[in-house]
Structures are given as C-alpha cells and as structure tokens.
Amino acid sequence: MHIGFEPVGTMAVPNLEWALNIVQKLNLPEVGLVIDDFNLYLWDLLSDVDLICTIPPEKISIVHLNDAEKIPFARLDQTHRCMPSDGRIDIARYMQNVKDSGYGGYVSIEVLNPGIWMRGPEVVIPEAYAKGMAVLQSIT
C-alpha cells in the first residue's frame, strides 16, 4: 500500500516545500505526496510550482490535474475547480514540472464542482479524458 499525503494549504502545512520536508523526514518508502495544481494555486498562485521538478518521482503518489474558474481570486474555493485548460492556472508549466521530476505514474482529473457533476458521468468522463490527454500530449 502506498500512502499519499495531500497538503491543502492549511496553517499547519502552508506550502509544497513544507509538505515535501514532512515526507522526506518520515523517510518511509510507502509515503509520498499528492500533488494538486488547484491547491498550489489557491495557496500562493502556484509560486512554488518549480519545486515539483526537484521532487524524487518515487515521492509522488499521484498527480491531480484540474483548473480554476475565472472568477475573482478571493471567491475561489474547492467547488470552483474546472476542466483542464478551461480556467486560469498555468497547467502546462505545472505538468511540465511534473514530467521533469521523472514522475510517470497516475494523473487524475479532480473537478470538485457540482455544476460539472450535474452533467452526468457519460458526458464528464469523456470530456475529462480528452482535456487531460490534450494537456499531457502538449508537454515536451
């Protein structure tokens, strides 16, 4: 079993660097990070995104790929996620750093948005797949 620690920008773990330090100090092969571009954006506008390429790939459990709606930043919360490339996050840079880390594992689309869910899985799943693959295929 592999355990993924997902920092979500609380006072206890305010950024990706802290989260990585925690995982490294644990020094357990089965513990890694869940990297989520929306959380990184919500914390600090993705200012630590370049740190991703320095994370050992075996310390990344899974990568979440989503985007943030184009609404005033102060109103953004977890329900304002949208499909990759439909929002305001520099997901190309984010995913390039993931690739540059050497990570080759799973990438999941995580849109915690009730408006998207209402469209039903028969619509949302193919759209998520197409938009996610477009992003992954666009990075070098």
Q: Which domains does the chain have, with CATH numbers?
A: 3-138 (3.20.20.150)
Q: Which residues contact 32 (CB under 8 A, 6 or more apart)?
A: 2, 3, 4, 5, 23, 58, 59, 60, 61
Closest CA to 78 of 36, 122, 37, 112: 112
Phi and psi at 43, nearest 5°, equal -65, -55
Q: pLDDT for 90-139, tens place per residue?
A: 999 999 999 999 999 999 999 999 999 999 999 999 999 999 999 999 99
Find the helix packing angle between 37-44 and 91-100, rounded to 10°.
Answer: 120
- Residue 10 predicted with pLDDT over 70: no
